[in-house]
Amino acid sequence: MKISAKTNAKEVLKQYFGYTKFRHQQEQIITNVLDRKDSLVLMPTGGGKSLCYQIPALMFDGLTLVISPLIALMKDQVDALKLNGIKAAYLNSALSGRQQSEVIDQLKNNELKLLYLAPERLIGNDGEFIKFLQTLNVSLIAIDEAHCISQWGHDFRPEYTRLSTLKTSFAGTPVIALTATADRLTKDDILKQLKLDKPQTFISSFNRENIHYFVAPKRESYNQLLDFLKNHENESGIIYTLSRASAEGLAASLKADGYDVLPYHAGLDRELRERHQDMFIKDEVKIITATIAFGMGIDKSNVRFVVHMDLPKNIEGYYQETGRAGRDGLKSDALLFYSYADVLKLQSFVEVENNEQQSRIMLKKLHEMAEYGDLRSCRRQYLLNYFDEEAEDNCGSCDVCLNERERFDGTIIAQKALSAVARLDQKFGAGYVIDVLKGSKSEKIRDEHKQLKTYGVGSDINKVVWGHYIKDLLYLGLLSKTDTQYPVLKLTEKSLPVLRGEEKVMLFKVSETVYQSSTKPQH
């Protein structure tokens, strides 16, 4: 009797990995690969991407190449496979010449099922190595962290672009590209650059139910952090900062305040860095303060919190970093300290560091990150929508959903704002509209606008509070804004009834939003 590929894959899962059930879309993905078709797999961190190529690797006759940028992790990955009785090896600069020739011999003798390589090793050396691999029976090529090929991704690696020749060098060999993070733009770019042949894309839900999302306005962030940590005593966590210096400084302050903490950033020498990482993984230190250099590929199950002291550059990076919490499925917290000053700071970096097209995309992503910080609706919904996933509007486990916000009759306030937008001919952004409402004496305000009836009608309301009200009006659909670099406020079909006094508007009370742990609500 012929055993179907499906039964086989399940047996391999059991025999080599000791698991009884497939997760997410593992089974469909493996079937697609076994049919020798190209695949793109988007699965959140910890979702189980590796098995999607490891199981086919065991079932195909020949060799599976695994391309990964994470040289530091190759040894661990290969050791883990060997422990399961799988013939795997890696080639990278950490191996001695002799060790390398041993691997080459094993390859020549068809003794290996999986070979892990960095892209520069695969393509480098004038293509000599590729020529050698072409003499072997390569059954499958897996490209891990595939978003690294895209300039629009958050972790672009130039070496990855050379992988675009793979489909030509290994014609007919199926390719599986995998990533935990890809928005639509990056996803399309991966498919295009790898020249995948009629690829099937598999997208797993990115929702991480056990992670609770919080944003706190950044004021005295160190004290706010200490408050947060009181709710997380003796728990393991990662605190991200923008700069190496602040990772270092924060570790020193927390240590002085009695916390068990070490820093991690690319400025530390390699040995020390690796030691800190290792200690964290083995629970020998509780907290790591780090730049985003930390965490890629780290498989630690009991990270209970991830804090961002500074605004990340985009949602992909943010989601991946927060995704390092709660791999064990237990409740974990993600806290972001948000201030508009951070947006301006990052904006200036983007403008200096990139060409025009890149800048435009990076600024758009930055503004989406800022929008997340400013959000007046469910944060989880925003994150999932960002990844093209539908979601309900009340997750019950983000600060917005947890703080049932009090509302009041804000009809007059709404009318003032809407009529200012109307009288400015719907040609200005929120900042300018607020200045007009406030009756700002600034020279920026055109003289004719100082004559408007709405000029100064909102001077009794604080500028920041006005900002919140405008966001509410956007959220309630009473205003819209253009999708341009400098968004302009526009009226909507819902605006008119309000201006005519036919509809009431309930606005949200603006209070000091303080971080509230979902475990210990402080009302």
List contacts with ligand ADP (CB under 6 A).
19, 21-23, 26, 43, 45-51, 299
Q: Which residue is nearest to ligand ADP (CB)?
A: 48
- Are 192 and 149 in contact by the 8 Å Cβ rule? The answer is no
- 3-state class (DSSP) for residue 91: strand
Query: Of Zn ion, ligand ADP, none, which one does residue 487 interact with (CB within 5 to 8 Å by kind)?
Result: none
Picked from ligand ADP, Zn ion, none, the partner binding residue 395 (CB below 5 to 8 A depending on kind) is Zn ion
Residue with Cβ nearer ligand ADP (238 or 254): 238
332-338, strands of its sheet edge to edge: 211-217, 332-338, 303-308, 236-240, 287-290, 261-264
Minimal distance, residue 48 CB to ligand ADP, in Å: 3
Q: Say which residues have a Cβ less than 8 Å from residue 154's Cβ, sequence separation at least 6.
A: 147, 181, 313, 314, 316, 317, 320, 365
Q: Considering CB distances under 5 to 8 angstroms, the limit depending on partner class, which of Zn ion, ligand ADP, none binds residue 45?
A: ligand ADP
* Identity of the residue, 45 or 221, whose beta carbon is nearer to ligand ADP in the bound complex: 45
Which of the choices ligand ADP, Zn ion, none does residue 453 contact, using the CB cut-off of 5 to 8 A by kind?
Answer: none
**Nearer residue to ligand ADP within complex by CB, 175 or 433:** 175
Between residues 258 and 521, which has the closer beta carbon with respect to Zn ion? 521
409 contact, one of ligand ADP, Zn ion, none, CB 5-8 Å limit per kind:
none
Report whether 52 contacts 178 (CB < 8 A): yes
Which of ligand ADP, Zn ion, none interacts with 398 (beta carbon under 5 to 8 A by kind)?
Answer: Zn ion
Site for Zn ion in 355-384 (CB under 5 A): 378, 380
Is the Cβ of residue 68 or residue 246 nearer to ligand ADP in the bound state? 68
Distance CA 354, CA 411 (A): 44
Tell me how far, at minimum, the Cβ of 376 lies from Zn ion, in Å: 11
| Residues 144/49, Cβ–Cβ less than 8 Å | yes
When the beta carbons of 365 and 380 are compared against Zn ion, the nearer one is 380
Minimum separation from the CB atom of position 44 to ligand ADP (A): 7
Minimal distance, residue 262 CB to ligand ADP, in Å: 24
**Which of Zn ion, ligand ADP, none does 48 bind, CB closer than 5 to 8 A by kind?**
ligand ADP
Beta carbon of residue 448, minimum distance to ligand ADP (angstroms, whole number): 58
Name which of 13 and 247 has its Cβ closer to ligand ADP: 13
Q: Which does 380 bind (CB under 5 to 8 A by kind): Zn ion, ligand ADP, none?
A: Zn ion
Cβ-count burial of 93 within 10 angstroms (0-12 exposed, 13-18 middle, 19+ buried)? Answer: exposed
State yes or no: residue 398 binds Zn ion (CB under 5 A).
yes
Report which residue type is found at 319: Y
Closest to ligand ADP by CB, 46 or 429: 46
438 binds Zn ion (CB under 5 A): no
Q: Report if residue 336 touches Zn ion, rule: CB under 5 A.
A: no
Nearer to ligand ADP, 80 or 341 (CB): 80
409's enclosing H/E stretch is strand 407-409
Instruction: From 163, 202, 174, select the one nearest 64 (Cα to Cα).
Output: 174
The 10 Å Cβ neighbour count of residue 390 is 8
Query: What would the 3-class secondary structure string for 171-234 be?
Result: CCCCEEEEECCCCHHHHHHHHHHHCCCCCEEEECCCCCCCEEEEEEECCCHHHHHHHHHHCCCC
- List helix spans (H) across 257-355: 270-281, 315-322, 340-353
CB closer to Zn ion, 380 vs 449 = 380
User: Under a CB-based contact definition with an 8 Å cutoff, are residues 199 and 29 in contact?
Assistant: no
The one of ligand ADP, Zn ion, none whose footprint includes residue 401, by CB under 5 to 8 A per kind, is: Zn ion
Instruction: Give least dist CB 363 to ligand ADP, A.
Output: 30
For residues 498 and 505, is the Cβ–Cβ distance under 8 A? Answer: yes
Selected from 29, 81, 335, 395, the binder of Zn ion by CB under 5 A is 395
Q: Max alpha carbon distance in the chain (Å)?
A: 88
Non-local (6+) Cβ contacts of 50 within 8 A are 77, 144
Interface residues with Zn ion (CB under 5 A)? 378, 380, 395, 398, 401
